[in-house]
């Protein structure tokens, strides 16, 4: 994020002795529980990436309670943190967004990539996608500014369900569905068993609990079929229902609570 954007979000509050916690004052127990690394603090506020935060810290542009920060410092809500003399306040609310990605949009936060997902949403806060959905596919994808949740959603051991509707290039029989459900060897390893059922002569619905790169396309290719369209309709309990292509909305309170519960995060 540019310094200009940071200034808009920050309060230009000159630090004085009165603003700093008295020396040797014990840190409240509740504050100790919430202490995080200084680079993670910046990502949690949606200010910049951890790598960018590390650079700011190494350059001496970050202070904690008036002291120049060093890599590995931990901070809590009672600490006064500045970047280039500007106060960076605590308390940015975590954002959880669902987006109906159209075909042609690339799931990346890299700004130089044409038709990237962040530009498509144009959200004022810094957000990033949870997982991927390839450029030629459409459907549901989640985005957030909450770094804690990303790996938990993606980690294979949680076996979170993702549901897709797929159309292939020619009609298939029950043998094809059974082989898809049992698992297919792609890239030298068999996929997990999954649920598959017919929707039409060339269309089927599939529910996966893993997310390898271009997995469904590779599975179909291994069985002699080519995917024409691939559309994700659900991630765990969150569905694409009501969202038009290119449209996004915040998760409802119920969706958010169920998401956090599913990945064992208390907020």
Q: Give the domain CATH number at 73.
A: 3.10.290.10
Is residue 134 part of the annotated active site? The answer reads yes
Tell me whether residue 267 is in a domain: no
Instruction: Name the band, by pLDDT with cuts 50, 70 and 90, for residue 63.
Output: very high
Our count of domains for the chain comes to: 2
CA 195, CA 162: separation in Å to the nearest integer?
11
Domain harbouring 127, CATH code: 3.30.2350.10
Pairing between β-strand 138-144 and β-strand 185-186 as defined by DSSP bridges = unpaired
- Does the pTM surpass 0.75? The reply is no
Q: Is the pLDDT of residue 1 over 80?
A: no
CA 257, CA 265: separation in Å to the nearest integer?
9
CA 255, CA 239: separation in Å to the nearest integer?
10
> What value does the mean pLDDT take over residues 156-160?
69
Q: Is the pLDDT of residue 4 over 70?
A: no
Kindly state whether residues 17 and 129 are assigned to the same domain: no
What's the token pair of residue 14? 């000159």
Residue-level pLDDT at 200: 97
Of 33-37, 238-242, 243-247, least confident by mean pLDDT is: 33-37
Of 85-99, 124-138, 146-160, 244-258, least confident by mean pLDDT is: 146-160
Q: What is the mean pLDDT of the chain?
A: 83
Number of Cβ within a 10 Å radius of residue 256 = 16
Containing structural domain, residue 16: 3-87
CA 120, CA 99: separation in Å to the nearest integer?
10
Q: Is the pLDDT of residue 156 over 80?
A: no
Q: Is the pLDDT of residue 56 over 70?
A: yes
Bigger pLDDT: 1 or 84? 84
Residue-level pLDDT at 15: 40
Kindly state whether residues 44 and 68 are assigned to the same domain: yes
Tell me which of 31, 84, 134, 148 is the catalytic residue.
Answer: 134
Bigger pLDDT: 237 or 263? 237
Instruction: Name the band, by pLDDT with cuts 50, 70 and 90, for residue 211.
Output: confident
Q: Is the pLDDT of residue 30 over 50?
A: no
Residue-level pLDDT at 34: 58
Residue-level pLDDT at 49: 74
Kindly state whether residues 109 and 77 are assigned to the same domain: no
| Angle, CA 242 vertex, CA 266 and CA 116 arms, to 5° | 75
Of 56-60, 92-96, 235-239, least confident by mean pLDDT is: 92-96
Kindly state whether residues 78 and 164 are assigned to the same domain: no
Of 7-11, 83-87, 120-124, least confident by mean pLDDT is: 7-11
Residue-level pLDDT at 206: 98
Tell me whether residue 200 is in a domain: yes
Residue linked to tokens 């994700």:
232
Kindly state whether residues 37 and 167 are assigned to the same domain: no
Please give the share of the chain, as a percent, with pLDDT higher than 70: 83
Residue-level pLDDT at 264: 73
Kindly state whether residues 80 and 172 are assigned to the same domain: no
Tell me whether residue 233 is in a domain: yes
Residue-level pLDDT at 46: 64
């Amino acid at each position: 994020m540019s310094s200009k954007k940071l200034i808009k979000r920050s309060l230009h509050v000159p630090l004085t002795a009165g603003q700093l916690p008295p020396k040797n004052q014990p840190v409240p127990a509740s504050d100790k529980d919430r202490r995080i690394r200084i680079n993670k603090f910046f990502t949690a506020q949606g200010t910049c990436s951890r790598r960018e935060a590390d650079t700011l810290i190494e350059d001496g542009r970050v202070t904690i309670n008036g002291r120049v920060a060093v890599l590995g410092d931990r901070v809590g809500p009672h600490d006064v943190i500045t970047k280039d003399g500007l106060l960076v306040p605590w308390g940015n609310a975590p954002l959880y967004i669902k987006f109906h990605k159209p075909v042609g949009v690339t799931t990346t936060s890299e700004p130089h990539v044409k038709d990237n997902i962040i530009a498509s949403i144009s959200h004022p806060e810094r957000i990033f996608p949870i997982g991927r959905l390839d450029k030629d596919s459409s459907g549901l994808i989640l985005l957030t500014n909450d770094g804690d949740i990303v790996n938990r959603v993606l980690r294979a051991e949680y076996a979170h369900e993702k549901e897709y509707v797929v159309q292939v290039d020619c009609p298939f029989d029950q043998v094809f569905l059974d082989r898809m459900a049992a698992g297919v060897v792609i890239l030298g390893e068999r996929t997990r068993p999954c649920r598959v059922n017919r929707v039409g002569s060339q269309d089927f619905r599939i529910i996966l609990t893993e997310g390898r790169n271009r997995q469904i396309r590779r599975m179909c290719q291994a069985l002699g079929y080519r995917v024409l369209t691939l559309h994700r309709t659900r991630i765990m309990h969150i569905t694409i229902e009501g969202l038009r292509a290119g449209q996004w909305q915040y998760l409802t309170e119920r969706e958010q609570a169920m998401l956090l519960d599913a990945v064992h995060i208390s907020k």
